[in-house]
């Protein structure tokens, strides 16, 4: 006969003991703040502590001390509270750091919850759906569904603090499965094979390219952080050495460990010397601090990590006023706008020769603009249409905060893309710096 309340009471008792510092045999020092806990609880909850404690001194008379500098005490408090209660207090502010810490501590349950939290927070499904809708808008008629997608996303942005209770069956969920779920959530059209694989409109792989060129010679196909979690399970549970793919993966994981070890050394995760797991030394590796919770990429600055995370979340906060295309960065939007919609390049699109205001003019094709020299222009049989500067008008219609006007932009985009879908009206617009500058000024506020 099973008494279901026993587990709860047991955990509750352990939590009480922790709070009253009863039988605590492990001190965790996080940025100077000491947390007391029980070795056996930590051992059972974290792959990191499992490894740490299994290799620590067998002398149980002295408390084990573990020191961390990679996450804040507040973050560890959230994690420790979860360990002792099963309740994870996630907020939009702490989820990234909690996820990163959970990744470091190899706590797959928390990782899964964080992924779900981020997923729901960003409403990625809706966003990706919208992404594809916008991309396919040139082929399909625009539907009224577009604007609401952005409204829902903005709504989701202000997520209140939520507590996640992890059910047992989910706690035992294999990490990879959760990732595949997450990936399927990310895309309904493109199957993702690896966690770090991301989406773009072309479905191309967006694995950080630099990593392959410079990043410690890591393999392009190396699996991500979740394999770090799995690794513990594999090593503890024993992996099939006869599987060559596992061997190569293990080799990659060793490399991964070495990479992480740099962090430890450089940033003083001064674990007790006797309890530091033996790892490879890579003293010549660059110093990295902020680790992406989605992949193995590490960056030096938090801002860079924030920027990097967009490639995982699919967030594209910078929409083009002219065509509705969205970008992850303002500079990309600006570059796109200048080249596509402002004929920023002083090059004849046809003959590729340099074009000045005197030797050529701007041709407008839908929302796209480019320059043609007079010779190429004469060859082309364009109907000269009075310059109504529709593009400029459309560009200046919606201003203000880029986030607050997403819904409007969607509606606007529908019209614009419908216009683009029509046979292009070629508008020959003579280059006029004043007009161009004026148009620029009208648009720039949105680009700032």
Q: Are the C-beta atoms of residues 254 and 216 closer than 8 Å to each other?
A: no
Q: How far is the CB of 344 from DNA (least distance, A)?
A: 9
Q: How far is the CB of 387 from DNA (least distance, A)?
A: 21
d(CA 255, CA 225): 13
Piece of 3-11, 114-122, 332-340, 431-439 that binds DNA (CB under 7 A): 332-340
Give 306 or 393: the residue with its C-beta nearer to DNA.
Answer: 306
Task: Answer left, alpha or beta for residue 334, where phi above 0 means left and psi between -120 and 50 means alpha.
Answer: alpha
Q: How far is the CB of 328 from DNA (least distance, A)?
A: 4
Piece of 61-69, 121-129, 232-240, 333-341 that binds DNA (CB under 7 A): 333-341
Q: How far is the CB of 331 from DNA (least distance, A)?
A: 5
345 binds DNA (CB under 7 A): yes
346 binds DNA (CB under 7 A): no
Give 125 or 270: the residue with its C-beta nearer to DNA.
Answer: 125
Half-sphere exposure of 345 toward its Cβ, with a 13 Å CA cutoff? 16
Piece of 5-13, 47-55, 266-274, 335-343 that binds DNA (CB under 7 A): 335-343
Give 264 or 297: the residue with its C-beta nearer to DNA.
Answer: 297
299 binds DNA (CB under 7 A): yes
Q: How far is the CB of 312 from DNA (least distance, A)?
A: 8
311 binds DNA (CB under 7 A): yes
Give 301 or 430: the residue with its C-beta nearer to DNA.
Answer: 301
Q: How far is the CB of 340 from DNA (least distance, A)?
A: 5
**Pattern 88-117, binding to DNA, x per CB under 7 A?**
------------------------------
Piece of 103-111, 251-259, 325-333, 406-414 that binds DNA (CB under 7 A): 325-333
Count of residues interacting with DNA (CB under 7 A): 44
152 binds DNA (CB under 7 A): no
Q: How far is the CB of 206 from DNA (least distance, A)?
A: 4
Closest CA to 139 of 226, 50, 201: 201
Q: How far is the CB of 225 from DNA (least distance, A)?
A: 14
Q: Which of residues 171-230 bind DNA (CB under 7 A)?
A: 198, 200-206, 208-215
Q: Which residues bind DNA (CB under 7 A)?
A: 198, 200-206, 208-215, 297, 299-304, 306-308, 310-311, 325, 327-332, 334-336, 339-340, 345, 347, 352, 448
């Amino acid at each position: 006969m099973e008494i279901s309340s026993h587990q709860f009471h047991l955990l509750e008792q352990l939590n009480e003991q922790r709070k009253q510092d009863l039988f605590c045999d492990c001190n965790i020092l996080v940025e100077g703040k000491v947390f007391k806990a029980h070795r056996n609880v930590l051992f059972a909850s974290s792959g990191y502590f499992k490894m740490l404690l299994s290799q620590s001194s067998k002398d149980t008379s002295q408390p084990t001390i573990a020191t961390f500098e990679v996450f804040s005490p507040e973050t560890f408090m959230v994690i420790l509270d979860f360990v002792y209660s099963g309740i994870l207090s996630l907020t939009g502010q702490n989820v990234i750091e909690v996820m990163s810490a959970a990744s470091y501590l190899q706590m797959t349950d928390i990782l899964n919850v964080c992924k779900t939290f981020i997923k729901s927070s960003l409403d990625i499904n809706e966003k990706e759906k919208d992404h594809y809708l916008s991309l396919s808008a040139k082929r399909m008629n625009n539907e009224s569904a577009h604007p609401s997608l952005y409204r829902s996303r903005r709504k989701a942005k202000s997520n209140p603090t939520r507590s996640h209770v992890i059910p047992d069956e989910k706690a035992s969920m294999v990490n990879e499965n959760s990732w595949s779920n997450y990936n399927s959530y990310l895309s309904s059209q493109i199957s993702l094979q690896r966690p770090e694989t991301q989406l773009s409109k072309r479905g191309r792989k967006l694995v950080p390219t630099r990593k392959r060129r410079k990043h410690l010679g890591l393999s392009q196909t190396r699996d991500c952080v979740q394999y770090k979690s799995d690794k513990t399970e594999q090593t503890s549970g024993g992996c099939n050495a006869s599987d060559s793919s596992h061997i190569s993966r293990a080799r990659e994981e060793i490399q991964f460990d070495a990479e992480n070890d740099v962090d430890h050394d450089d940033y003083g995760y001064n674990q007790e010397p006797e309890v530091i797991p033996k790892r490879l030394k890579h003293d010549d590796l660059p110093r990295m601090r902020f680790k992406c919770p989605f992949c193995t990429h590490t960056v030096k600055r938090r801002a860079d990590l924030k920027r990097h995370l967009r490639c995982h979340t699919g967030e594209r906060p910078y929409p083009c006023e002219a065509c509705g295309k969205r970008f992850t960065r303002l500079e990309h939007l600006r570059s796109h706008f200048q080249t596509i919609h402002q004929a920023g390049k002083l090059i004849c699109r046809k003959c590729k020769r340099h074009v000045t205001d005197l030797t050529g003019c701007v041709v407008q094709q839908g929302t796209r603009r480019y320059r043609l020299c007079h010779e190429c222009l004469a060859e082309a049989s364009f109907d000269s249409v009075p310059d109504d500067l529709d593009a400029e008008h459309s560009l200046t219609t919606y201003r203000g905060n880029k986030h607050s006007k997403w819904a409007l932009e969607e509606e606007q985009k529908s019209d614009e893309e419908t216009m683009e879908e029509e046979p292009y009206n070629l508008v020959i617009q003579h280059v006029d710096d004043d007009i161009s500058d004026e148009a620029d000024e009208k648009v720039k506020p949105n680009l700032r």
